[in-house]
Structure 1
Amino acid sequence: MADPIQKILVLVPNWLGDAAMSTPALRALHKRFAAAHITVAGRASACALLAGLPWLHGFVALPARPNLLKLVQLGRRLRPHSRDLAVVLPHGFRAALLARLSGAARRLGYDRDRRALLLTDAVPPHREHGAIRPIYMAKEYLDLVRRLGCEDDGEGLELRAAPEAVAAARAHLGDGGPVVGIAAGAAFGPSKRWPAEYYARLADILAERAGARCVLLTGPGEENTREAVQAAARTRLIECDRGQPTIDTLKAAVSQLDLLVGNDS
């Protein structure tokens, strides 16, 4: 007898780190519902991060903070993908409302932000002494899909880089010592950033003492940080993205690293 769940929509978190931590739960969904078509909906950056995973079958990019009219329109757009089940990983009210507007027969998410009425399966969040407490996000997402009979395979987080992007990154790296990524940027400004000259000095030391090939990793809007590190370093810092970073080039470069040094970002 065929499994009644054939169309699954997963609303994923906005932040790239949280999106990466959703991959064990996404993989568990695929293993539990192997014949189902799984579509991911989220910010364009999150979709790009998860692209390439063989057990995800479609992606829908969502705008930031859509108003009610836009949510209704998005709900209609998502209906072909959410017929049987929508899994709501973000905590926000909008995500649960979008799942409801998508027409999914079953809607699974955590019972928080006054959204229980929008869900068919509202799961109590982790609490300690009666108060909601944060836990490791990968575990939180896995705990949610366990309500569907999904199991953790213990393989941890997983991302895939496009083969052509990996080949391009390798061409930039050449041959030599260990490959070290220098991620000098941060999303919330100087309070989250180690000074650029410190990163430059670290790159010089690693190159001198270990023969390291240091790769400078920056994102959009971090041009000043990139230029400051380059200007302060004596050693040549490799830029696999040629100063035009994308999620694809970032995944490819990171896949080749022996060590990554970065900020809390």
Structure 2
Amino acid sequence: MGALEKFFKKFLIALVSAFHSAKRISASNLPLSHFKRILVVKQHDQLGDLLVTTPALRALRKRFPHSHISIVVREYTAPMIWENPHVDSIIVFYEKLNLWTLNKLRSFWEQLRGDGGFDCAIVMNSVSRSLSSDIIAVLSKASYIIGPNHIPLEPGSPEKIYNVLTPRTRKIQHESEHYLDIVRSLGATSDGLTYDLILTDDEESEAEKVLYNIGIQSDAVKIGVHFGALNKEKRFPLDKLAKVIEWIKANYTCEVLLIIGPHEVQLREELLSHIRNVEVRSVPLLPIRISSAVIKKLHLLLCNDTATMHIASALCVPTVSFHSISDPTQWKPPHERHLGLRADDKKITSITVEMVTSAVETQMRKLGFHKKEE
């Protein structure tokens, strides 16, 4: 963070603090029966992080079945929460200034402040803290702002935004447990760590058309491969991935589908240039929910530690995922159908082809699919 950015952040903190008093209260003294309008703020993270919060949203709905629950999310993550039965309304926050219009700003303000604002705002921080999320919580006029106690706004200074600071059960645990710890302070209880992503019948029908158009039969065994990751340190080497794909095609009667995300066309072409003498299918670039519906049709997905991994988990699709800088015990979907690979030195380049093919064979056996010679 540069000097100017630090100055601007301190200025904003001072400005917010001047108009907002974070009078501390213990969670046990919260007037929970008066929480009729609840705001969840989760606008500062990525697609996968939003899906990881859905067990907490489900627990929150179970605790407050008759309350109105709204969530603030970024415009490109909002589709992940469409159709979610545990959320009553979605408030869209645009990440880039040039995306805001007067009408969008007016709508955002009315949703945030309408009907007298909110009784409480829950800021879903886990790894880092977002000042913009804190400001949104303050602007909501919430009587109580709730957030985790392990991420100070200013190290060494008293808390200036949250009335209620929630503790973590354990320092090292799955990320979904961190979010559940926040709502547990409100008396919510977990019914498990399954992620929620609800697709419509029309979206699933559209996915079937996509697969038909690229020559995939409905009864084919389908193994998906998503090769992209914005962070190169989290991207399994394409030449190794090509060898894995060749091994899969040599050993199993199946279709291999390349799943593509935004800005990954060049990566796909590079991967294809490494693949020798086997046929693979490329799924076209699709809207995120249609792409998710295609993923739901897969029997197995190979992927990096990205949102695609969490989408597959939410749709009960087994995965083999590649991990490096993020600990799979915290970020790999917490279910037995998912295998996460990480080398001892935590470098993505140190994961071997043999590690991946062994994991694929394990997953295929669990699914009841055997190698050609067996």
- Per the TM superposition, whether the score is higher than 0.5 is yes
Count of aligned positions: 254
Tell me the equivalent position of 2:148. 110
Q: Deviations over 1:9-68 (max 9, x none)?
A: 1112512222111010000111111112222211122211222222222212212277xx
Q: For structure 1, which segment, 180-189 or 224-233, has the greater mean C-alpha deviation from structure 2 after superposition?
A: 224-233
Q: For structure 1, which segment, 72-81 or 144-153, has the greater mean C-alpha deviation from structure 2 after superposition?
A: 72-81
Contact persistence 1:176–1:212 (CA under 8 A): no
Structure 1 distance, partners of 2:174, 2:165, is 20
Greater RCO (Cα-Cα under 8 Å, separation 6 or more): 1
How many Å apart are 1:170 and its aligned residue?
A: 2.5
The equivalent position to 1:186 in structure 2, one of 229, 241, 253, is: 229
SS in 2 for 1:45: coil
Tell me the equivalent position of 1:130. none
5+ residue gaps in structure 2?
1-31, 307-374
The equivalent position to 1:227 in structure 2, one of 243, 248, 269, is: 269
Alignment of 1:131-210 (within 5 A): 133=171, 135-154=173-192, 156-171=194-209, 172=211, 173-189=216-232, 191-210=233-252
SS in 1 for 2:137: helix
SS in 1 for 2:301: strand
Alignment of 1:74-113 (within 5 A): 77-80=111-114, 82-90=117-125, 91-111=129-149, 112-113=151-152
Does the C-alpha gap of structure 1 residues 230 and 165 become closer, same or farther in structure 2, counting only changes over 3 Å? farther
TM-score (norm 2): 0.61
Amino acid at match of 2:114: P
The equivalent position to 2:39 in structure 1, one of 6, 9, 34, is: 9
TM-score (norm 1): 0.83
How many Å apart are 1:184 and its aligned residue?
A: 0.3
Amino acid at match of 1:98: I
Q: Deviations over 1:90-122 (max 9, x none)?
A: 232321221011111222111333373322222
Contact persistence 1:219–1:246 (CA under 8 A): no
SS in 1 for 2:185: helix
How many Å apart are 1:76 and its aligned residue?
A: 5.5
Amino acid at match of 1:86: A
Question: Is residue 2:299 matched to residue 1:258?
Answer: yes
5+ residue gaps in structure 1?
128-132
Structure 2 distance, partners of 1:139, 1:25, is 8
Contact persistence 1:24–1:157 (CA under 8 A): yes
Contact persistence 1:29–1:145 (CA under 8 A): yes
How many Å apart are 1:75 and its aligned residue?
A: 5.4
Structure 2 distance, partners of 1:207, 1:64, is 42
Q: Deviations over 1:139-187 (max 9, x none)?
A: 0000110111110012522212232222222330423442211010011
Structure 1 distance, partners of 2:195, 2:269, is 32
Does the C-alpha gap of structure 1 residues 92 and 185 become closer, same or farther in structure 2, counting only changes over 3 Å? same
Amino acid at match of 2:124: L
Contact persistence 1:162–1:248 (CA under 8 A): no
Q: For structure 1, which segment, 217-226 or 231-240, has the greater mean C-alpha deviation from structure 2 after superposition?
A: 231-240
Does the C-alpha gap of structure 1 residues 235 and 80 become closer, same or farther in structure 2, counting only changes over 3 Å? farther
Tell me the equivalent position of 1:29. 60
Contact persistence 2:39–2:120 (CA under 8 A): yes
Structure 1 distance, partners of 2:133, 2:77, is 15
Contact persistence 1:38–1:57 (CA under 8 A): yes
| Identical pairs, percent | 25
How many Å apart are 1:232 and its aligned residue?
A: 3.7
Contact persistence 1:96–1:109 (CA under 8 A): no
Does the C-alpha gap of structure 1 residues 35 and 238 become closer, same or farther in structure 2, counting only changes over 3 Å? farther
Structure 2 distance, partners of 1:219, 1:212, is 23
How many Å apart are 1:207 and its aligned residue?
A: 2.8
Q: Deviations over 1:193-215 (max 9, x none)?
A: 22323333323332332112222
